[in-house]
Amino acid sequence: MTASHLAVCVASLQDVKLFNSNLDVVDDAFEYLMSKSQKGEKGQYFTPRYVIDMCVKMLNPKEDEYMIDTAAGSCGFPVHTMFHVWKQILDRLGIKQSHLFSSEKKPPECEEYVREHVFAIDFDTKAVRVARTLNLIAGDGRTNVMHLNTLDYDRWDDFTKDEDWEDIYHDGWKGLRALRKTRNQNRDFKFDILMANPPFAGDIKESRIISKYELGKNSKGKYQNKVGRDILFIERNLSFLKDGGRMAIVLPQGRFSNASDKYIRDYIAERCRILAVVGLHGNVFKPHTGTKTSVLFVQKWDDKLCPRKEDYPIFFATMKEPSKDNSGEKIYRVVEGDEGAYMLDEHHHLVVKHDLYNHDGLTEDGIAEAFIEFAKKEKLSFF
């Protein structure tokens, strides 16, 4: 786009108000910026806001905890983590909450949280530009979204030495380096929380990358010629977490049931307490894909935060409300007794019909509330 064309576009858009917009609308705009072919070939699909909110509610991030999304997409998990923690900060300060996605000045504590505690990375340069834009808007001009290949961590130093890369991502990279478990290595970190929906289409075929992962081996212990991206993301994501850290990751349903994937489940169980498995409806990622998915919630074993147990209960739930029709269009709630009127929340946004959580007291309790009750009963460290 030439400078003159850009000037015309900016002149047309400068009066459009993004703040206080329904973030679903913002997502739709940014999805348009990402070509379908670009997303589809690697299984990149933006996670619906209501799925993100369920994950955030269930992992319950705190103000002093560090969070990362290793497959950032449009940065939904980091942005909603920010909103969740900002509510805690505003409550603590006795400040009345408004719409959190707004242009009003936030307290310094909110800005500090975004600057110091929230991180995201993605391998797709266009996705990173999109994510940084939304994160900058939502985070009061702060963002730690970086262009890095999560799985190929041995090549990170090649990126970070590039002057152009350094100019853009310096602050985020400095913060990420500070969270490494060991100086001058890019594998193990000390994050409290990780949430991600990694690409699950296609395979990694580079032996150089596969050989760095235990899950690059098959059930017989032999390195494979190709491995599903999502499989390597499981191991890689766990390496980002400190002991006692917790993760929510969206995975294809087959990983939970395929006999051939038992070695993956064993790998996870050896290193983590399996907190919950939530089966998502098959329409959730339509129209992009009808792949059945589930969200896995785990917490790494730790003597204090998550003492190892051989036998413990696991929370299982299945999403019953489809939230979208078979064409991928969202289904919205209607007002009881007035079938022609759609339900609106306090910000006058339409309310998607799902059973994942209670929408600001307007709907019945859902899966997230049931898990919170379970977590308190089990005395999990984060409730």
Task: Assess whether pLDDT exceeds 70 at residue 16.
Answer: no
Percentage, residues of the chain above pLDDT 70: 84
User: Average pLDDT for residues 256-277, to the nearest whole number?
Assistant: 97
DSSP state of 278: E
Task: Assess whether pLDDT exceeds 70 at residue 69.
Answer: yes
Does the residue 210 lie in any domain? yes
User: Average pLDDT for residues 207-212, to the nearest whole number?
Assistant: 97
Does the residue 29 lie in any domain? yes
Extract long-range pairs of 362-366: CB within 8 Å, 24+ residues apart: 362/333, 363/333, 366/54
Task: Assess whether pLDDT exceeds 60 at residue 2.
Answer: no
pTM assigned to the model: 0.91
Predicted local distance difference test score (pLDDT) of residue 127 = 83
Q: And the tokens for 284?
A: 């959730």
Report strand pairing: 203-204 vs 118-122.
Answer: unpaired
Is residue 17 very low, low, confident or very high in pLDDT (cuts 50, 70, 90)? very low
Whether the link from the prior residue into 107 is cis, omega within 30° of 0, is: no
Does the residue 48 lie in any domain? yes
Does the residue 228 lie in any domain? yes
Task: Assess whether pLDDT exceeds 60 at residue 6.
Answer: no
In the chain, the number of structural domains is 1
Predicted local distance difference test score (pLDDT) of residue 43 = 47
Is residue 138 very low, low, confident or very high in pLDDT (cuts 50, 70, 90)? low
Task: Assess whether pLDDT exceeds 80 at residue 11.
Answer: no
Predicted local distance difference test score (pLDDT) of residue 64 = 98
Report strand pairing: 315-318 vs 334-335.
Answer: unpaired
Predicted local distance difference test score (pLDDT) of residue 310 = 92
Indicate the helix (H) or strand (E) that contains 172: helix 163-177
Is residue 213 very low, low, confident or very high in pLDDT (cuts 50, 70, 90)? very high
Q: And the tokens for 195?
A: 């949430």
Extract long-range pairs of 86-93: CB within 8 Å, 24+ residues apart: 86/110, 86/113, 88/62, 88/63, 89/63, 89/113, 92/63
CA distance 62 to 57: 11
Task: Say if residues 195 and 58 touch (Cβ distance below 8 Å).
Answer: no
pLDDT higher for 270 or 200? 270
Predicted local distance difference test score (pLDDT) of residue 282 = 95
Encode pLDDT of 325-382 as tens digits: 999 999 999 998 877 799 998 878 899 999 999 999 999 999 999 999 999 999 999 9
Does the residue 5 lie in any domain? no
Q: Which residues pair with 317 in a beta bridge?
A: 278
Percentage, residues of the chain above pLDDT 90: 70
Does the residue 2 lie in any domain? no
Predicted local distance difference test score (pLDDT) of residue 117 = 97
Q: Which stretch of 43-47, 175-179, 312-316, 357-361 has the lowest confidence by average pLDDT?
A: 43-47
Predicted local distance difference test score (pLDDT) of residue 100 = 62
Encode pLDDT of 217-248 as tens digits: 998 899 999 999 999 999 999 999 999 999 99
Can you give the CATH number for the domain in which 218 is found?
Answer: 3.40.50.150
Domain of 81, in residue numbers = 17-377
DSSP state of 105: P
Predicted local distance difference test score (pLDDT) of residue 153 = 97
Encode pLDDT of 101-117 as tens digits: 665 678 899 989 999 99
CA distance 368 to 278: 10
User: Average pLDDT for residues 298-322, to the nearest whole number?
Assistant: 98
Mean pLDDT of the chain: 88
Task: Say if residues 284 and 293 touch (Cβ distance below 8 Å).
Answer: yes
pLDDT higher for 98 or 266? 266
User: Average pLDDT for residues 264-278, to the nearest whole number?
Assistant: 98
Task: Assess whether pLDDT exceeds 60 at residue 323.
Answer: yes
Burial code (b: 16+ CB inside 10 Å, e: under 16) for 116-132 equals ebbbbbbbbeebbbbbb
Q: What is the largest CA-CA distance in the chain?
A: 66
Is residue 133 very low, low, confident or very high in pLDDT (cuts 50, 70, 90)? confident
Task: Assess whether pLDDT exceeds 60 at residue 121.
Answer: yes
Predicted local distance difference test score (pLDDT) of residue 349 = 86
Does the residue 345 lie in any domain? yes
Predicted local distance difference test score (pLDDT) of residue 339 = 73
Encode pLDDT of 29-60 as tens digits: 666 666 554 545 554 568 999 999 999 999 99
User: Average pLDDT for residues 143-148, to the nearest whole number?
Assistant: 93
Does the residue 1 lie in any domain? no
**Nearest Cα residue to 28 out of 160, 130, 143:** 130
Residue 73 phi/psi, 5-degree rounding, is 55, -125
User: Average pLDDT for residues 300-312, to the nearest whole number?
Assistant: 98
Q: Which residues contact 351 (CB under 8 A, 6 or more apart)?
A: 332, 333, 342, 343, 344, 345, 359, 362, 363
